[in-house]
Structure 1
Amino acid sequence: MAVPYADRVLPPGKWWREGTVVAAAFVVCLLGGLLHVDDTVAPPLTPTYLIAAVSSAMLLARHRAPVATTMATTACGMLVAPMGLLLTPLIVAPVVISAYSLAVRGERRVTVAVLLPSAVLLVASTAFFEADFSWADTSRLVTVAASLLVAAVFGRSAWHRRAYLAVVEERARRAEESRDSEARRKVAEERVRIARELHDLVAHQITLANAQAAVAAHFFDTRPEQTRTSLAELVKTTRHALDELRATVGLLRQPDDTSEPTDPAPGLSQVPTLLNAFRRAGLEVSMHEDGTARPLPPAVDLTAYRIIQEALTNVTKHAATGSAQVHLAWNRDHVTVTVTDDGGRTPQDRPPGYGLIGMRERATAVGGTLTAGARAEGGFLVSAHLPLPAAENAARRTDGATNSEGR
């Protein structure tokens, strides 16, 4: 993988590091010049200073142009033997540093294509100018060639480490973004849930209170006893609304959703009480049930209750009728909740709201469906199909399979 040009540019304020590298390479080259061809140790010759200065200065370009820098320092190393100097790994230190930088910055194929010819040229230039070869000379040249390859290996290792750290950082960044996105999604879902709960609670209780207040106002002068009864029911309704609102807000404030609530959530078992409340508000409600009733999961039970509650609330608020019908049909794998009325208004006459949206969201959340619309014979219909417990269905299928095998 090629490194972008921006990564090859030296970061601001780091020139002192490059100066240290150039100075170290220059000193090492001079140390290599202490060894002469006749295997004696003497002060470096003048060509040694020239080669050391030029090749070390070229290292400043190794980040921006690693290939050109490696080729240029190799060319300087090829001048060692013609100038009567001894080729050693020390005197070609700039070539070794360039090989490392090339392996870190360049692609693997480019690194191999540049370093192998460089090693061959360094060895060949020395072999051409040295007539007699000993085993010591051979091992020295092999060491020079190997030093370039070893530097390349270390450079590729550093490249792989940097690539690994970059991948780890990218994964950590994506994981952090995913956590943030998931947190935002959960917050949005919680807001919708809170809005749905408060809508169902407040709309139902306020509608009942409004109906009871209207009855009390209607009989205020003619039937004082009926007025007192309606006002008493109004007090009960508002008190019940405050209790439910307090309980709902208390549950929403709990930090742990797995904690047990103090009051059980309403379900189909509380539907008779719900219907009585509507009857006291002036709505005649009848209920029919087909099939064998079975226990429902808490979420499905609450959904069924809220759908009946919201549908009857809409009848009280919008339908020009004083009656409604609730029907429960228990089937093998689902229960159907239907609420109908024979009101005179059409859905277009009804003001927009979130009641139908909330009912549909509740049904979808538990794996069910909800349909709502005008009836052909007049009025409005709300029908929800809610699934029964999967475990019970699985047990029933298992029993059926066992009986089939027995037969």
Structure 2
Amino acid sequence: MTDRGGARRREAALTATAFALCLVGGVVRVDDTPLSSPPAAAYLIAVVSCAVLPLRHRAPLAVLAVTTVCGVLVVPLGLVLTPIVVAPAVVTAYSLAVHTERRTASAALLASAGLLAAANLVFGTPSWEQASRTGAVVAFPLVAGVLGRSARNRRAYLAAVEERARRAEKDRESEARRRVAEERVRIARELHDLVAHQITLANAQATVAAHFFDTRPEQARKSLHELVGTTGDALNELRATVGLLRQTGDTAEPAEPAPGLSRLPTLLASFRRAGLEVSVRQEGTVSPLPPGVDLTAYRIVQEALTNVTKHAGTGSARVSLSWERERVTITVTDDGAGTVPVPAPGYGLIGMRERATAAGGHLFAGGRAEGGFLVSAELPVPPAKDTARRDGRGTTGRTAEGTADEGDGDTP
């Protein structure tokens, strides 16, 4: 309401000013001496031309036509055509340039200026003074049009800047929400793989200890000792994961390296301590993997073996790593029930598929025709650019393979 009232007051003030200018211009004689009072023709021109001014925002072309006709009739009615007499036309020219497309506004303003000049030249007395008045009458609406066009361009520029800022802010918010969602999924995957693996091993070791507590106390004591080690490892990994989440900027403490296939022997040893016999086979030449792909490969093996321990109902599993020029194929199989009978939908298989897809590969998981369950993932292997790095990682991979095979005599 306040803005609308202020606009009405500004509009009334502008109309009153234009009306007063018309009357002032109407008292000027041809010899530039003023009359004692405005004649009736001046009142007529002022009333008609100013009465339509409030409509100039909605119909600027029509209002310009009315004010131009009033200016054309100034000389035939016995008045002197001056810029102040055509003040309503000047005001309308500004509004026309602000609210109308450039080509239309330019044509209308040139036509209005031409009509005013022609009327002054046709009905007036030729003289240098008359010519100077004609030039001023033509110039004022054109200058007002230029100022209106400048104001229109400035408004358009400010609107474009505001729109770009609004879109940029919206894009930043969308990007922030997307990154938060991705980070939450990544954290959920890491915590799921970590907790599921360690808790599964701890549960298996506690079950063995409880089973042998009375009959074979030495074996129970050994299982409890291994349980202490498993829970200690779980706490350490959980602490490292939480510490990673607490890092802020460049001042954070350096995090421990993410696990990769180089830690595969340690991972398999933890499953063997829990009672799962794991055999490993590697084919091809081991190639270096980027940290993200290396972590994905490790987590897939970890989660697949965790599912075997929890759901397969068998005491053995097989891990196969097939290295080719552009990809590595990871296969984990067992001879168990062939399904994953969880009471509620879990996220282990979903997490493995998400990891494989994020790394640029794909994963298959399902029952085998000959019985048991199969998890197979293909991950990309980028071309090695550093021969020394390739040799170093290859040696590490072969050492891991030898250690794993050495721990299992029935490696197929």
TM-score for the superposition, normalised by structure 2:
0.87
Match in the other structure for 2:163: 170
Mapping for residues 8-19 of structure 1, pairs under 5 Å: 11-19=4-12
For the pair 1:194 / 2:164, whether they are aligned, the reply is no
Taking structure 1 as reference, are residues 262 and 148 closer, same or farther at Cα in structure 2, changes over 3 Å only? closer
1:351 is displaced (CA, Å) by 5.7
What is the aligned counterpart of 2:284 among 265, 268, 291?
291
What is the aligned counterpart of 2:330 among 319, 324, 337?
337
1:222 is displaced (CA, Å) by 1.1
Taking structure 1 as reference, are residues 22 and 386 closer, same or farther at Cα in structure 2, changes over 3 Å only? same
What is the aligned counterpart of 2:83 among 64, 89, 110?
89
1:118 is displaced (CA, Å) by 2.5
1:282 is displaced (CA, Å) by 0.7
Gaps of 5+ in 1: 1-9, 396-407
Q: Which moved more, 1:70-79 or 1:42-51?
A: 42-51
The 8 Å contact of residues 37 and 84 in structure 1, kept in 2 or not, is answered as no
Match in the other structure for 1:98: 92
1:113 is displaced (CA, Å) by 4.4
Match in the other structure for 2:117: 123
- One-letter amino acid of the counterpart of residue 189, structure 2: R
1:32 is displaced (CA, Å) by 2.5
Match in the other structure for 2:135: 142
Q: Which moved more, 1:372-381 or 1:132-141?
A: 132-141
For the pair 1:71 / 2:65, whether they are aligned, the reply is yes
- One-letter amino acid of the counterpart of residue 96, structure 2: L
What is the aligned counterpart of 1:161 among 135, 154, 158?
154
What is the aligned counterpart of 2:271 among 278, 294, 298?
278
Taking structure 1 as reference, are residues 363 and 260 closer, same or farther at Cα in structure 2, changes over 3 Å only? farther
- Number of matched pairs: 386
- One-letter amino acid of the counterpart of residue 100, structure 1: Y
Match in the other structure for 2:102: 108
The Cα offsets for residues 69-100 of structure 1, whole Å up to 9 and x where unpaired, read as: 21222222223112211101111111111111
Q: 2:343 and 2:372 mapped to 1: Cα distance?
A: 12
1:316 is displaced (CA, Å) by 0.3
The Cα offsets for residues 143-168 of structure 1, whole Å up to 9 and x where unpaired, read as: 21232222222212221221122111
Gaps of 5+ in 2: 389-412
1:133 is displaced (CA, Å) by 0.7
The 8 Å contact of residues 278 and 316 in structure 2, kept in 1 or not, is answered as yes
Q: 2:344 and 2:156 mapped to 1: Cα distance?
A: 61
- One-letter amino acid of the counterpart of residue 169, structure 1: E
Match in the other structure for 1:359: 352
1:306 is displaced (CA, Å) by 0.7
What is the aligned counterpart of 2:178 among 179, 185, 188?
185
The Cα offsets for residues 203-232 of structure 1, whole Å up to 9 and x where unpaired, read as: 000100111111111112211111111111
User: Secondary structure, in 3 states, of the residue corresponding to 2:249?
Assistant: coil
Q: 1:185 and 1:44 mapped to 2: Cα distance?
A: 75
- One-letter amino acid of the counterpart of residue 320, structure 1: G
Q: 1:162 and 1:69 mapped to 2: Cα distance?
A: 23
Q: Which moved more, 1:180-189 or 1:295-304?
A: 295-304
Match in the other structure for 1:24: 17
- One-letter amino acid of the counterpart of residue 367, structure 2: A
For the pair 1:265 / 2:258, whether they are aligned, the reply is yes
1:60 is displaced (CA, Å) by 2.0
Q: 1:278 and 1:162 mapped to 2: Cα distance?
A: 70
What is the aligned counterpart of 2:367 among 366, 374, 388?
374
For the pair 1:61 / 2:51, whether they are aligned, the reply is no
Q: Which moved more, 1:145-154 or 1:211-220?
A: 145-154
1:34 is displaced (CA, Å) by 4.3
1:391 is displaced (CA, Å) by 4.4
1:349 is displaced (CA, Å) by 7.6
Taking structure 1 as reference, are residues 309 and 108 closer, same or farther at Cα in structure 2, changes over 3 Å only? same
The 8 Å contact of residues 347 and 373 in structure 1, kept in 2 or not, is answered as no
1:394 is displaced (CA, Å) by 11
